[in-house]
Amino acid sequence: MTTTIGIIGAGHLIKHMMPAMAKTGSRFLVSERGRETSAQLAMEFGVEVSPDNQSIVDQSDIVIVAVRPFDAAEICDGLTFADGQTVLSLCAGLPSSELAPVVAPAHLVMAMPVVAAQFSESPTLMFPENPKCRALLESCGPVLALKQEDSFAPAATIACYYGWVQELISQMSDWVSAQGVDPEVARLLTAQMTRAAATTVRERPATPTSQLVSELATPRSFTLKGLEVLHEADAFTPWKRAADALLRAD
Ligand SMILES: NC(=O)c1ccc[n+]([C@@H]2O[C@H](COP(=O)([O-])OP(=O)(O)OC[C@H]3O[C@@H](n4cnc5c(N)ncnc54)[C@H](OP(=O)(O)O)[C@@H]3O)[C@@H](O)[C@H]2O)c1
């Protein structure tokens, strides 16, 4: 039987998830708000657009909530959910204690994808494990289910790290092109080097990441020389401070 997925909140994130999710062969019902995006999704992926959120909920096995976090509880409170339904919240920083009561008796699942879903490369956090949501989210990239809800907020900060790394790529590729390298080469080289570093970390799980670094940063190596400059400037502490700031934000 075809699974019906309802989407409340067709914005920036959903625009990037739909190319992957559409490949699951599910039926998609999308809220009309965010008119430009919903019209584009209807044209590109044949999703059905409705101005009536309750009608979307009534027809769906899974209801994705992708409105802005501060709107979500109020919007869901105005809707009636059914037993046996699953609500998949993608809203950053919104704990289950705020959303679960207003979507009851539906079962709440939380997930945190990033826009690399467009290329089926979003590492997506999920809590709790849910096979139906997993099947949907795996179209967007690897799904990592957490065992405890209190891990969700700290782990979700890494969805913002995704953006911070893009800023680092931007800064470093600008530096390379400022040395006279073709900007297109500089951009692709820096992006692919970042990806290569990540692939090695992913593919060698038995090796501590600190050891991967020390294998490169051998005495008198250029890698070590650069790392000494970075450590002298305490370059990594601000990254942890940035993550702390998100975790403590209301
Ligand atoms: N963007 C990301 O990379 C990303 C990553 C992970 C998680 N998230 C989370 O995903 C959620 C959406 O983020 P976003 O960046 O996609 O935001 P967005 O572009 O602002 O999209 C939100 C959408 O919700 C619509 N909306 C507002 N009220 C509605 C209602 N009553 N019924 C139906 N739709 C309604 C808005 O329509 P109008 O424009 O007409 O108001 C808009 O199209 C947020 O909670 C965010 O924390 C985003």
- Calculate what percentage of the chain has a pLDDT beyond 70: 100
Where does the pLDDT of residue 187 fall: very low under 50, low under 70, confident under 90, or very high at 90 and above? very high
DSSP 2-45: PPEEEEE--SHHHHHHHHHHGGG--EEEEESSSHHHHHHHHHHH
**Could you tell me the distance, in angstroms and rounded to a whole number, from the CA of residue 196 to the centre of ligand 1?**
32
39-69 tens-digit pLDDT: 999 999 999 999 999 999 999 999 999 999 9
What fold is seen in the domain 160-248? ProC C-terminal domain-like fold (1.10.3730)
CATH number of 4-156: 3.40.50.720
User: Which residue has its alpha carbon closest to ligand 1 atom 11?
Assistant: 66
Mean pLDDT, rounded, of the chain: 97
69-116 tens-digit pLDDT: 999 999 999 999 999 999 999 999 999 999 999 999 999 999 999 999
Tokens representing 126? 């999920």
Spatial contact of 37 and 17, defined as CB atoms under 8 Å apart: no
The predicted structure's pLDDT at residue 250: 61
Distance CA 138, CA 152 (A): 18
Domain ranges of the chain: 4-156, 160-248
* Best of 12, 17, 98, 112 for a ligand 1 pocket test (most atoms within 8 Å of beta carbon): 12
* Best of 41, 47, 65, 68 for a ligand 1 pocket test (most atoms within 8 Å of beta carbon): 68
β-strand 107-112 against 4-8: which pairing, if any? unpaired
Residue 131 confidence (pLDDT) above 70? yes
Where does the pLDDT of residue 34 fall: very low under 50, low under 70, confident under 90, or very high at 90 and above? confident
- Calculate what percentage of the chain has a pLDDT beyond 90: 98
Cis-peptide, bond into residue 154, ω within 30° of zero: no
